[in-house]
Structure 1
């Protein structure tokens, strides 16, 4: 393999949202052998870089499900944004169905409800099977604000009044299946949107051209690498588009059924450094 694209949450990161030493070492070994390693995540670039920097990793990042591609040094290679009118219509639908959401932009992620932002991270961790105490999950959720991964804003209207803001993604959460699915069904009627998920209780809404599979294909082409020489590793619904285009697709042991069904290989879980095990088999 000449290129490895790796998802973050539930894949590269363990349940503590950290890169294990085994995963970091395997990536560095691959890079030393001349293999391109790119991170492909639903996070924005800023939030994605935090655990990478902690693990002393330097990689290009496909962020916000493909809405932006940056080099390891932070040079922007590609941007695919949502027009403000589509974002407003999306917000109206989510609000109507009482579905909490955050807005991802070129200037970071924003929430207008601090408490629901905390509750949402706890819900995501619990639905992912985390064994942490509620206190520990709350600490992890609060870190998103403390480290600047998400910013609390009083009113989303301020973002629309700033001409320098470009919208990349609307990330919605609800544990109410009926409300979430009703909103999702409405959003699926938008021909210019890609609808995916990275957890059982969320909806990830991006431009139809902002998908991991499209971004990985473009990144590989820029590097002159055939898709047959691309390996992807992931665990959830927003990884499916890159699983469908790669020469070799690896599902995490904790991946959802749909991902495992189209994978060429199933590795260990994210808490067992499954990424490292998959990479080392290629070296």
Structure 2
């Protein structure tokens, strides 16, 4: 019997109109009623995840959310932080210098804000602020305090240019950080021990839930680690090939209530 299901948001929980359909919500509530722990697992910041948690009524005692692609795990009822793994100010300086060499716009976060050191603010930084309803600030690197903790940094640009940026990242940097492409225009950079898979594993162990009792549902490259970790990894119909390759189960797309179908088949036995 499955005891925990971790669900990605964009391209998975949300359809292309950024909606959680009635069918998906009802399936999640039915899973909760069976005692299954439902965990939203997203690259979004906690502020951007909050409306989703509330819509799905995942704010009871002993319920959790994973944000920043695994950099932050916390209790949704008490806001207690279970795990927080951040980049340092020195990491930020190094990544900023790399962004200048690669001619890549960038932005970065604390728990409640997004910042950019680029005076000409990129449209994808504005989009990031908009979709998460999170304040956006222009700050030079020199204006950032030395004790600043950063859940993630992002290089952002038009897909074709971002692909060129990725191909020019030195191998030494690839080993120094975790890099995940969460959208055609978003490259996320995290502490090397951070991933959705590691966060789900850590939470499952805290809750004394075995790996084989975990389902993870996702569609993008940043979901690969958790789909690989899960006892049953689920790929959306719209998932990238790498996720489909490692998944044990493939469901319908995010526009066809794929999350609902997976829950019905694997948890509700419909």
Range moving further from structure 2, 40-49 or 17-26: 17-26
1:232 alignment partner, SS class:
strand
Counterpart in the other structure of 1:186 = 169
**Mapped partners of 1:25, 1:187: distance in 2:** 46
* Conserved? CA contact 1:97–1:180, under 8 Å: no
1:4, distance to aligned residue in structure 2 (A):
0.3
1:64-116 deviation per Cα after TM superposition (whole angstroms, max 9, x unaligned)? 01100011212211100011111111122123322222212223323456985
**Mapped partners of 1:207, 1:230: distance in 2:** 24
1:266, distance to aligned residue in structure 2 (A):
1.1
Is 1:236–2:206 an aligned residue pair? Answer: no
* Conserved? CA contact 1:108–1:151, under 8 Å: yes
**Mapped partners of 2:259, 2:80: distance in 1:** 26
1:21-60 deviation per Cα after TM superposition (whole angstroms, max 9, x unaligned)? 2111111111111101111111111101123324544352
- Relative to 1, partners in 2 of residues 1:151 and 1:78: Cα closer, same or farther, differing over 3 Å? same
Counterpart in the other structure of 1:177 = 160
1:209 alignment partner, SS class:
coil
- Counterpart of 1:95 (choices 85, 95, 100) is 100
Range moving further from structure 2, 106-115 or 240-249: 106-115
**Mapped partners of 2:121, 2:139: distance in 1:** 14
* Conserved? CA contact 2:15–2:254, under 8 Å: yes
**Mapped partners of 2:109, 2:85: distance in 1:** 12
Is 1:227–2:211 an aligned residue pair? Answer: yes
Range moving further from structure 2, 89-98 or 147-156: 147-156
Is 1:60–2:64 an aligned residue pair? Answer: yes
Q: How does 1:14-29 map to 2 (within 5 A)?
A: 14-29=15-30
- Relative to 1, partners in 2 of residues 1:148 and 1:3: Cα closer, same or farther, differing over 3 Å? closer
1:193-238 deviation per Cα after TM superposition (whole angstroms, max 9, x unaligned)? 1011111232110001111011000000001010011000000000
1:161, distance to aligned residue in structure 2 (A):
2.4
1:195 alignment partner, SS class:
strand
- Counterpart of 1:252 (choices 232, 236, 252) is 236
1:167 alignment partner, SS class:
coil
* Conserved? CA contact 2:40–2:53, under 8 Å: no
2:92 alignment partner, SS class:
helix
1:182, distance to aligned residue in structure 2 (A):
3.5
- Relative to 1, partners in 2 of residues 1:91 and 1:250: Cα closer, same or farther, differing over 3 Å? same
**Runs of 5+ consecutive residues of structure 2 not aligned to the other structure:** none
Normalized against structure 1, the TM-score is what? 0.83
Counterpart in the other structure of 1:168 = 151
1:8-31 deviation per Cα after TM superposition (whole angstroms, max 9, x unaligned)? 111001112222221111111111
* Conserved? CA contact 2:7–2:40, under 8 Å: yes
* Conserved? CA contact 2:104–2:165, under 8 Å: no
Counterpart in the other structure of 1:40 = 41
- Relative to 1, partners in 2 of residues 1:259 and 1:176: Cα closer, same or farther, differing over 3 Å? closer
